Every structure is written in structure tokens, then in C-alpha cells.
Structure 1
Amino acid sequence: MTATGKSSETTASGAPRAGGRGTLAGRTVSRIGYGAMQLERNDRADAVAILRRVVELGVDHLDTAQFYGNGFVNSVIRAAIRGEDDVVIVSKVGADPDPDGPGPLRLAQRPEQLRASVENNLASLGLEQIPVVNLRRTDTGPGLRAEGDQVVPLDDQLAVMTALRDEGKIGAIGLSAVSVDTLRRALPAGIACVQNAYSLVARDDEKLLGLCLAEGVAWMPFFPLGGAFPGLPKVTEEPAVVAAAKSLGVTPSQIGLAWLLHHAPNVLLIPGTSNRRHLEENIAAGALDLDKEMLAELDAVPTRAGDIVLG
């Protein structure tokens, strides 16, 4: 039984854990979480309603950042998520909102910027401690690359992150957009999770995933269906995925998400959507049973995403 008195098979709300049980920063969580970035497309009332539905569907960890909607998404989470929901909030630092710039964000890699970003996240979320904070680096893509004073040694960044953890402002440290070498160097600091772009058609990080599995680090892929930017292949367009979806009477997106859950036991999904129907489809993907023959056909899909740099 958990501290809330509920079975480990259910969330604090009593709902079955979406996708089953996983582990994040020493806590039992649902294997399917929710990426909140797309909520910036919704008005506030609708965004709050979607988050309440997320909790009802057995999700108990959320991915967010202060730079999602320049604080809007964090403010919606603050309004929608209650203490009794027992939801693990995962935020990230390493970039800041840049509403007047050429893009929606700018890198903020220096130690003092990381600290300021944590403080901004705490304020907008209304928390005394953020359970998990990912350090978003620029080792791998797609994404921006650090230049000039934004090229900061990993040790300097980990020093401020561990200080923030010691101060109780963050509960655990994660990493995002990192290489195998970066994770190896960071492991002594205690790493709870890694977020990299990864999907059925973008498996360049297989060695990194294996290291996470060996070290008990949660693997939380973003862009789990590929195709987020021009030039990136889409999981949903793969013939093997389309055929599997037709066979099971589900959508290609559900097959792509289910494959990730079957691929490794430390995978925690954070698919995002601003649409209620898509949300429910994403959660339902956690119940799909892919047999050995279907998994073999999906595993045979080639990885070809490469390393696309944007901005």
C-alpha cells in the first residue's frame, strides 16, 4: 500500500495507473504521464478541464516548463492540480521564455540562470519544492545548440542543481537532450530520469536507453511519434505501424506509444495533446498487447531521424 492508503496499482484518485506501474525518482507512478506543453493552445478553462481529466484517467506525473507559454502552462497546472492528487510535477531548466525574440525561447545554461529558472518555476507553479527538475542541455538534437557564454561545463551546472536539491527547492535531478557520455559523468550526482527525442523511427539513443535501464534511470522520450518538425519522419506513416493498427483496430499513434512501453521497462511516456479524444486514445494505448510477431515487425522498422538542429 502507498502512503495514501491506495494500492500501488492505482493512483491517489483510485484510478488504475495509466499504462501500469513505473518508477520515477523513487516513487511509483503511472507509466503514461502527460506532457503539458500543448496546453498553451487552449484557453484557461479548457486547459484546466483537460488536466482534471488527465488525473481522472490515472495519470500522476506531468511534464512542464516555465517557458511553455511563457508561464501560462505552469499557471494552469497550479490552478488544476490539487495536493490530494499526489501528482509528480516534472519541470525543466536550461532555457527561458523569449516572447520578443525570433523564437519562443532562448537558452539559459549558466548556473545563475538555472537557479533563476528554478525560482521562476516555483513561483508560477505555487510550490515549495518541484519534485523533479530536468537540466536541458544541448548535447543532441533536435534543438538549439549552445554558443558563446551558453557553453557551460556540465560540472558547473550539476553543482548548482545539487545545491538546489540540498536546499529542498527541487526533489530530484533529471537530464534532457544529453549524450551517453554526459549521463555517465552525471550519474554520481544522482539522476532520476532522462528526456531525449526518441521514437520507433528515431532510435539513435539505444545505448543511452540501455545505460538508463542498467542504472535505474527513467527514460522519458519526447517526440514519441516523431515528425515534430519538418525533416523528421513520422511513426504514424510507417507501413508496419499502419498494418499493426489496422490489425488491432486502433490508431497508428496508439501503436507507436504502445511499442515504446513494450520496448523497455523503464520507459515512462509523456505524450501531449490539447484534445480530449486524443488524450483518451493516448491513455488507452497503455492497455494494448503487442504479440511477439507484431513486435518483431515493428522492431525491424529502420531508425533514420539523424541529428537535426533547429534554430
Structure 2
Amino acid sequence: MLKFIAKRIGYMFLTLFIVTTITFMLIRAIPGDPLASMARKLPEQTRINYYAKYGLDKPVIVQYGVFLKNLVLHGDLGESLSYPGRKVTTTIMKYAPVSGRLGIQAIGMGFTLGILMGIIAAFKRNKWPDYLVMFIAILGVSVPNFVIASLLQYVFSVKLHVLPVIGWGSFKYTILPSIALSFGSIAKYARYMRANCLDVIGQDYIITAKAKGVSKVSLVFKHVIRNAILPAITLLGPQIAMIFVGSFVIESIFSIPGLGSYFVASITNRDYTMIMGQTVFISFLFVASLVVVDILYGVIDPRIKLGGGKK
């Protein structure tokens, strides 16, 4: 297990290096620069000083070397070009927990409810619970989350006055945005779990277990769910990273001070350092979540050989 984890962590850092390098070079390959409009009306010497301050007067390879050195040795992602004096690391540390809190609640809600609904639909196939779950799944896939968010605001805030419309603070402020953000995940997990459960139920070892008189509870939890849940866990990894970029619309609708708005704004303003910093952060979350998923595979199903050796 330790050898496997060390190997996966090595691949993780290699992937981060490749992603960081490609992103850095692609950003610099775009014509123009983010300081062009800002420095256009400034005196020549002041403009030169601005470019020198952010290192934009140096060759791209030198800029990358400086960025990589500061990142590896000091954990410094640089200073925002659009917000002078504001460190990228400080921005991420301040606003990422907000998006993270909202995202974790949404993922937990989506995963838990989706798995339960998928199991119920599979064991009640072609009955009204199955039809209800599939109807919800279709809505979750076809209806955008911002429509769900607006509907939730209208019902629970405008009509019933039980939850706040916008803002951020205590737990009650997270309920509606978490539901809106998790609705698509609920539908996705429900569909996957239903299909996987139906596939597992038809396997020979399930029929054999029934013939041996295994109780229904033991059959469901020890045999069906344990084998059917693996593909759903595969979906869980990438979602952990996407909560920071996929929740921008929801954060805007509910006026949540998260990282999503900064990510979109940095692309619009061509804020090189902010784009790079958030790309490194999100990429790290993504590859780290995949490592965790691979480890969970071995924990849930011991038949999976982590070392890749022969059985």
C-alpha cells in the first residue's frame, strides 16, 4: 500500500508540473498582455517600471523559471496583476474555504441522496419509486442549476420566508445553494447507481447467495452495494476539484464570496498570476482526489491489486 501511495504521489507531482508548464506557455502565447490598457496612458518610464515589476519584460522561459522557483521554494504564486498588492496565495486562502464549504456540502448531499435513490430505484424496478427517481434524474440532467437556484429562492425565501435569499454566514445561508449545486449530482449518482445495482443483481454470485439463504440486508450491503458503488466513487474524485470552478453561477446568484468569481474574472482580465495560481490549486485538488479514489478502490474491494501484481 505504501509503495502504491508513493508511486501515485510521484505521478501527481509530475502531472502538476506538466499542467503548470502547458498553462503558463499557453497564457503567454496569447497576443497582448494584461498591462497594455493599464499602462497605455502612463509615462514611458512608469510603464517600463510596471513591466519590470511583474517580470513581463523578460523572456517567457525566464518568467517561467522565476515562477517555478518561487512556487517550489517559497510556495509563492505571485501578485495579482488586476489587484496590485494582493497576493494570489492570500486570495486563495481567503476565498477557497467559502467555495470549499459550499462544495463539500453539495457533494455530500449529492452523493448520499443519489446513491440511496439509485439503490431504491434498482430494487423497485418498474414501480413508482423507480419512475420517480428517473424523473428526478432527468430533471437534474436537463435543468440548469441556476434555474433550480432561482426556483428555490422563490419558494423558500419569497413565498415561505424560511431561508435567506442571498448572503453568507451561518448554516442556513448554505442550504439553498447547496441544494441547487447538488441537484445535478443527485441525478448523476442516482442513474449510475441504479444501472450498476441492476447489473450486479443479475450476476451469478448474487443468485448463489440468494440460494444459500443469505438475508436480504446482508445481500444488499455486503454484495450489491459494495460492488455497485465503485463506478460512483470514480465520479466523486473529479467533482471535488470542480466545486471551485463549477459553482460560479450559484455563488453569483446567492452573493457568496467564493473563489469562483475570482477565477472567471482572472480569465476575463487576463490576470496571468491569478490564472496560474488557481490553475495550480485546482489541478492539485483534482490529481490528489484521484489518488484518494484509487486508494478507496482497494479499501472497498480488496480484490483490486494496488501493486499491479499477480493474484
Q: Which has the higher helix share?
A: 2
State the TM-score, normalized to the length of structure 2. Answer: 0.23
More strand by share: 1
Larger radius of gyration: 2
Task: Tell me: higher relative CO, structure 1 or 2? Use CA pairs within 8 A at least 6 residues apart.
Answer: 2
The TM-score, its normalising length taken from structure 1, stands at: 0.23
